Amino acid sequence: MQLASEIVYPIYLAGASDSQESVAKRGDELLKRKASTANLEDAKLINRLFTLFNGTASAENIAAELKVAPAPSSLRVRLMSVFCRSIAAANAFPYTLQCIFGCIYGSGTTSRLKQLGMEFTVWVFKHAVMDQLKLIGPVILSGILRSLDGSSSTEADSTARDVKIFAYQAIGLLASRMPNLFSNKTEIAMRLFTALRLEDQSLRLTIQEAATSLATAYKGASIVVLKDLEALLLENCQVEQIEVRFSAVRWATTLYDMQHCPSRYICMLGASDVKLDIREMALTGLNLLNDERQSPAMTVDFNYPDIVEMLNYIYSQQPKLLQSNDQSDGKLLFSSKTFLAMIKFLMKCFEASDIPDLSQEDPSHSPVAKMCVVLEHAMSYEGSSELHALALKSLVDISFRQPKLVSSRYANRLHWLRTLLSHVDSDARESAARLLGIASSALSSSAALNLLSELTSALDPNHPSRFEIYHGLLCATGYVTACCLKES
**What is the 8-class DSSP label of residue 65?**
G
d(CA 267, CA 430): 30
Give 461's DSSP letter. T
The 10s digit of each residue's pLDDT in 148-166 is 887 766 666 788 889 999 9
Distance CA 287, CA 344 (A): 10
State the pLDDT at residue 39. Answer: 81
Query: Is the predicted pLDDT of residue 297 greater than 70, yes or no?
Result: no
Cβ of 340: how many Cβ atoms within 10 Å?
A: 23
Q: For residue 431, is pLDDT > 80?
A: yes
pLDDT exceeds cutoff 60 at 296: no
Question: How much is the pLDDT for 483?
Answer: 79
| pLDDT tens profile 6-52 | 777 777 777 877 667 777 778 677 777 777 777 888 889 899 899 88
Tell whether the model's pLDDT for residue 95 goes beyond 80. yes
68 contact partners, CB below 8 Å, separation of at least 6: 51, 52, 55, 56, 57
Q: 210 or 106: which carries more pLDDT confidence?
A: 210
List the one residue out of 218, 341, 358, 248 whose CA is nearest residue 287. 341
CB of 421 within 8 A of CB of 472? yes
Residue 151 has a pLDDT of: 75
Q: Give yes or no for residue 232 having a pLDDT over 70.
A: yes
> Which pLDDT does position 484 carry in this prediction?
78
Angstrom distance (rounded) from CA 267 to CA 276 = 13
Residue 324 confidence (pLDDT) above 80 = no
Give 426's pLDDT tier (boundaries 50, 70, 90).
very high
Q: What is the 8-class DSSP label of residue 41?
A: T
Question: What pLDDT is attached to residue 65?
Answer: 62
Which residues 6+ apart lie within 8 Å of 479 measured at CB?
A: 433, 434, 436, 437, 438, 440
Packed helices 111-127 and 130-149: angle between N→C axes, nearest 10 degrees: 150
Could you tell me which of 194, 199, 125 has the C-alpha nearest to residue 156? 199
Confidence at 430, pLDDT banded by 50, 70, 90? very high
Amino acid 298: pLDDT: 41
**What mean pLDDT comes out for the span 279-295?**
80
Confidence check: pLDDT of 301 > 60: no
pLDDT at 215 over 60: yes
| Predicted TM-score of the model (pTM) | 0.86
**Coil, helix or strand for 92?**
coil
Pairwise CA distance, residues 387 & 80, whole Å: 60
φ and ψ of 286, to 5 deg: -100, 0
CA 320, CA 187: separation in Å to the nearest integer?
A: 33
CB atoms within 10 A of CB 134: 14
What burial class does residue 388 get, using C-beta atoms within 10 Å of its C-beta: 0-12 exposed, 13-18 middle, 19+ buried? buried
pLDDT surpassing 60 at residue 357 = no
Instruction: Please name the residues in contact with 372: beta carbons below 8 A apart, sequence gap of 6 or more.
Output: 395, 398, 406, 409
